[in-house]
Each structure stands twice: as structure tokens, then as C-alpha cells.
Structure 1
Amino acid sequence: MTSNRKTLSLRLGGEDETPTLGQTEILAHAIEHELCVRALYNRGRIILAPHILYERHGEAHVDGVVLERDGAKPAEVKLGTLKIIGLRDVVMTMEPVRPMASFDAHDPKYAEKILAVIGG
């Protein structure tokens, strides 16, 4: 005789959910203090040097330099845009951010709402 046992499962937040307030607070704090963060982004581990946290079309974004992705350095160092909704397990590190010389906080794409900016 077999019995049907109920199985409990844990479901982590889906990608369609809004980011937690903690994630944006950690990113804003890291930008204010010019520190890198570690996070999961689209199922990959990254180290990010965040430069600006802003809203565009009602969604939160962060522009920064990915210093490491899944343990490897990227082929090209560039400023990229990441949607906050895709970030998970954001943790601030003690590694300082070296701002990119080409970063322009007055770029029109940041015009909607800036939440935090490096050197600001």
C-alpha cells in the first residue's frame, strides 16, 4: 500500500515580480559609497561596479561595469545597463569602484528619475 504524501516546495520570486526595496537600497548605498556589488543576474554570478541607479519607463535600472561574470573577466570593459528586476542576492563588497571616464550622468536616458549617482 502506497500513501500519497504531500510535498512542500519553495518558490523563489519570479522575474515578473517587482524588485525588493532592499535591492535598490543596497545598490543606492553602494553607489553613494563607490563600492562594488555581487549579485545573480540572469542566472549568472556577477561583480558589478555600479555607476547610476535610475528609472526609465517606470522600471528601475542600474548602469555599471561588469568586472566579472561567472568567475571570468569580460573580454571588453564597458558600461552596461541591467534591469533591477533581473538582479537577485545583491550584496555589497568592500571593493572600490573606479568610475569610467566615459560615464556621463547628464545623458538623456537618465532624464526620467535618478535615484543614486556615483560622485553625486
Structure 2
Amino acid sequence: MSETRLKLMEAITRKRTVTAQYNGGVIKLAPHLLFERHGDLFVSALNMSKNWRSEEDRRLGQFKLAGLGATELLEESFDPLPSFEPAAPRSDDTLILAI
């Protein structure tokens, strides 16, 4: 099992934030759900590094685990988004773990 996968699974279980390298930058994520799509692993997470116009605009993004590097589990906890439903995004996705 990859170190990124293990850290994200722990983050989801403990509702902890993570930092990771993604597209050449470092982002801070609040991971809500881990799922598989066509043999690849993805995490649905709130990108806490993004400037959201309002609290209501905040939504989960989908990040391919293969694209996340140097993932670090932080001690900072988070509250799940009020609109979060613990289900795979698409009907043919496989849910692995959700908060």
C-alpha cells in the first residue's frame, strides 16, 4: 500500500487535514472520501488552499492519488461539509472509505 494512500486513509478516519504536492504546488486538503475509478484511486477532498467566495461555495474536488506527492498528515482537524454524502461520486466508482 502506498504511503499516500495510508496517510489519506488515516486522515479520513481521524478527520485530519493533509498537505500534498499537486501540479507543482503544495495544497492543503480536508479528505472526505477515498474511491476507485477504473483501477485508479481518487480522494474527494476540500481544497483548503483555494480562495472560496463564500462558505456556501465550498465543495469537494476529486484528486487522483497518483498525482499527489509528499503527503503529510497534519494534527489540524476539520468538520465535514454539511452537504457531504458518503457515497461514491459516480455509479461505477467503488467506495473504499468515507468519514
Q: TM-score range by the shorter chain?
A: 0.7 to 0.9
Give 1:40's aligned amino acid: Q
**How far off is 1:89 after superposition?**
0.3
1:104 paired with 2:79, answer no
Any stretches of 5+ residues in structure 2 without a counterpart? none
| Alignment partner of 2:52 out of 52, 75, 82 | 75
Task: Output the CA distance in 2 between the equivalents of 1:31 and 1:110.
Answer: 21
- Deviation digits for residues 37-84 of structure 1, max 9, x if unmatched? 01111111100000001101111000010111xxxx423422111111
TM-score scaled by structure 1? 0.72
Any stretches of 5+ residues in structure 1 without a counterpart? 1-19
Identity of counterpart residues, as a percentage?
Answer: 33
TM-score scaled by structure 2? 0.86
1:22 paired with 2:6, answer no
SS of equivalent residue, structure 1 residue 37: strand
Query: Quick one: higher RCO (CA 8 Å, sep 6+), 1 or 2?
Result: 2
CA RMSD of aligned residues (A): 1.7
Of Structure 1 and Structure 2, which has the larger fraction of its residues in strand?
A: 2
